[in-house]
Each structure stands twice: as structure tokens, then as C-alpha cells.
Amino acid sequence: MTKKEFYDKWIETFAADIPEQDIQKYVKSTGNLIWHIFSWELLDEGRYFIGEKAKAAYDQIDKEGAICIAWFEDEHTKDIVADLNIAAALDDFVEIYVVGKNFEWTYIKTHESMCGPYFMSDK
């Protein structure tokens, strides 16, 4: 999956309830990233986890069929490998987005030390 395909599918899946004008302003405009739906609190509180709760949720979720993309390095998604099965293993990435099989959940480790990580699931 290309970066563009991933980006579009991620927004379609995890930001479906957010008004398009907010998506344009806080996510799609120059200098913004998809995880800004969390940092700008565009979703209702309780629909996602931040920080240690996000890491714990990631550590516990089934990663079979999960894919990831190192946002500033990769142009295509990759399958999650065993080495990346715990949140601590993702700390070496500048910014990485992980989604479960069929985009059932997402985990984002951001490049901003004061933002995230974030975890959201439809389960």
C-alpha cells in the first residue's frame, strides 16, 4: 500500500466522524499530520488512549495482519514483524503509524515527545 493510499484509508476509517472542514484545517493542510485528530481533540474523549495507556493497549492487541509505515522514511507500508510487537520497540522510529488487519485499530508514535503515543480501536 502506498503512503497516499494509507493516508486516505486511515482518515476514512479513524476520522469518519470529524467534519470535513476540521480535517482540512487540522489534518490535511500544510504542516499537519493525521495524528492531529488526537492532539487537537477532534474526537470525543474516551474513544482513544494516550501515553502509557496507548502503549499498554498496543502491547496487548493482536498484531496478526498488522501493517506499519515509518512516516518520514517509507513510501509503502510494511508488515509488522515480531521485533515490533511491543510499543517500546517503536521508540527508535521518528514517527511510525501502525494499523491492525483491516484497519481495526491504530497506534501512532509521533515525532513530538509531548504528543502521544495514541491508540484507537473500533473493538
Looking at the predicted structure, is the pLDDT value of residue 94 above 80?
yes
For 52, the grid coordinates are: 502509557
pLDDT cut 90: percent of the chain above it: 75
Single out the residue of 30, 36, 34, 32 nearest to residue 12, CA to CA.
Answer: 34
SS3 at position 59: helix
pLDDT for residue 85: 86
**Confidence (pTM):** 0.91
Q: How does residue 123 score in pLDDT terms, banded at 50, 70 and 90?
A: low
Looking at the predicted structure, is the pLDDT value of residue 81 above 90?
no
Q: What is the mean pLDDT of the chain?
A: 92
Task: List, for residues 26-74, the tens digit of each pLDDT value.
Answer: 999 998 899 999 999 999 889 999 999 999 999 999 999 999 998 888 7
